[in-house]
Structure 1
């Protein structure tokens, strides 16, 4: 039985209903992240990047892209995928902590906060604040508000699937997820949830000037994204 979120993400998961869903997800996310890069020489950290199938698009928009992933399995796959790209490095979380102080222009942490405890999130916020240059920015995205439930997530997925051409697979995938250990793990471990005021307070306590962004990254606009400046 899977006992932690880290263990869950270190294997094949039922989150993506088919290859098209996964490809479209990462392609869209990479476009959005690339648009946030402040200048062509920027040093960017994508913390909790997952499979990052289209990270090369982000790398084209910046000087150096660090991909951080806790899963050893995912890191190995990322290292192989981008072995020939001099603008991309693959790091474990402990290697991120060893990066030079005030060396990053942009940190993106998408769909990460919900899998961390409150103290873990606060520790990451302090680390990201230390690593960012003066004027640097943190994008903390896909934050789940307290009132958002699984039905809203499913509705957002189906709308995405209808728009991008994988609706039948999404319907089957939702049924598969319902029967998978993801649902059991979500019930047992839970997902961290924050309302807007609480997340802004955490960002402020970590030393940022923060605001909620008009849109979340990705397809699920029921979730929130925050822009935090050093």
Structure 2
């Protein structure tokens, strides 16, 4: 069994039940992020971007798109996928930390906070605060509240699958997940959870003016999203 979330994401895993699920997830997320881009020349960071299959949609809405992924395997795949897109740069987390001060207009960190310790999130917040321009925004999304359990996540996935035409695959995928190391890791390592007041306080302490967004990014509306402004 893998020993960390970073190791888990650096190899094949059962998170997506089939190719349609993966494609619809990334396409929908890219549309939502593109709609948040403040102007066509904006510099955008998608931190914890995963496979970012539809990142070209975000890149078309901004001037420069940075894709940050901790997994070396995923970074190599991203670099190959977008090799012919000069407006897209693929970065490791330490390269994000080295970005110039006040060089970004928008940072999106979707489905990332739950895989970081509170101290790791604090370090990211400090980096994002430093690299955002005055008036720039951080979108911290897919934050898991303390009361939300695996059953609620499964119900949200099934509703998404029913709408987008992969319900049978989702049912089979959930059955596979029960015996996968994702379930074991979720029990062993846990997922970092935050109540609304706690994450707002953390954002405020990091120097942001923050509020909860009306909707989360993605399909799971049991989770939360926050907008934080420099």
State the TM-score, normalized to the length of structure 1: 1.00
2:83 aligned counterpart, secondary structure = coil
For 1:86 and 1:126, locate their aligned partners in 2 and report how far apart those are by CA, in whole Å.
28
| Counterpart in the other structure of 2:31 | 31
What's the counterpart of residue 3 of structure 2? 3
1:153 Cα deviation from its structure 2 partner: 0.1
Q: Which residue number corresponds to residue 216 of structure 2?
A: 216
The CA deviation at 1:204 is 0.1
Separation (CA, whole Å) in 2 of partners of 1:42 and 1:222:
30
What does 1:87-166 correspond to in 2, within 5 Å? Answer: 87-166=87-166
SS class of match (2:44): strand
Q: Which 5+ residue runs of structure 1 have no aligned equivalent?
A: none
Hey, what does 2:55 align to over in structure 1? 55
Listed as ranges, the matches of 1:169-208 within 5 Å are: 169-208=169-208
Q: Deviations over 1:155-176 (max 9, x none)?
A: 0000000000000000000000
Following superposition, the deviation at residue 95 of structure 1 comes to 0.4
Q: Secondary structure at the match of 1:217?
A: coil
User: For residue 64 of structure 1, what is the aligned residue in structure 2?
Assistant: 64
SS at match of 1:106: strand
RMSD across aligned positions (CA): 0.3
Deviation digits for residues 162-211 of structure 1 (CA, Å, limit 9, x no counterpart): 00000000000000011100000010000000000000000000000000
Distance 1:191 1:68 in 2: 21
The residue that corresponds to 1:14 in the other structure is 14
**C-alpha separation in 1, matches of 2:87 and 2:57:** 11
Paired with 1:122 and 1:198, the residues of 2 have a C-alpha distance of: 13
- How many residues were matched structurally? 230
Deviation at 1:215, TM superposition (A): 0.1
User: Could you tell me how far 1:33 is from its partner in structure 2?
Assistant: 0.1
Shift of 1:217: 0.1
Aligned equivalents of 1:12 and 1:19: distance in 2?
A: 13
What is the distance in 2 between the residues matched to 1:48 and 1:54?
14
Question: 1:73 offset after TM fit, Å?
Answer: 0.1
Report the alpha carbon displacement of residue 229 of structure 1 after superposing the two structures with TM. 0.1
C-alpha displacement at 1:148, in angstroms? 0.2
